[in-house]
Amino acid sequence: MNQKYITIEEGEDYRTIATKMTALGYKMNHATARNILLSGMRKFMLNISESLGRPLTDDECSMLVMRQDIHEVLGDILPLCLTEETKQCPVAK
């Protein structure tokens, strides 16, 4: 696995994320956005693995974060994680 980057379709780049988050009141630059994303992903995967009864080690997490297919699965799972309540929030509309 020599790939040094991951491509995500329909996703935003770090600079856009940083701009959006800043506008929403969470001041950050692109590097912070990346760091938050990586730590968030790591935490998310660790939590899942613990729930399924097989906690991942740090090394395993680092390996998984670099896999394209894992990112694709995350892209599929994350929208499903939003509760119906959140999706239909009247304030958001």
Which positions touch other proteins (CB under 8 A)? Answer: 8-12, 16-17, 20-21, 24, 26, 33, 36-37, 39-41, 43-48, 51-52, 74-75, 77-83, 85-87, 89, 91-92
Nearest CB to other proteins, comparing residues 48 and 63? 48
Distance CA 56, CA 49 (A): 6
Nearest CB to other proteins, comparing residues 20 and 67? 20
Q: Sign of torsion, CA 88 21 48 45?
A: positive
Nearest CB to other proteins, comparing residues 8 and 66? 8
Per the listing, tokens 């701009």 go with 19
CB 47, min distance to other proteins, A: 3
Helix, strand counts (H, E) of the chain: 5, 0
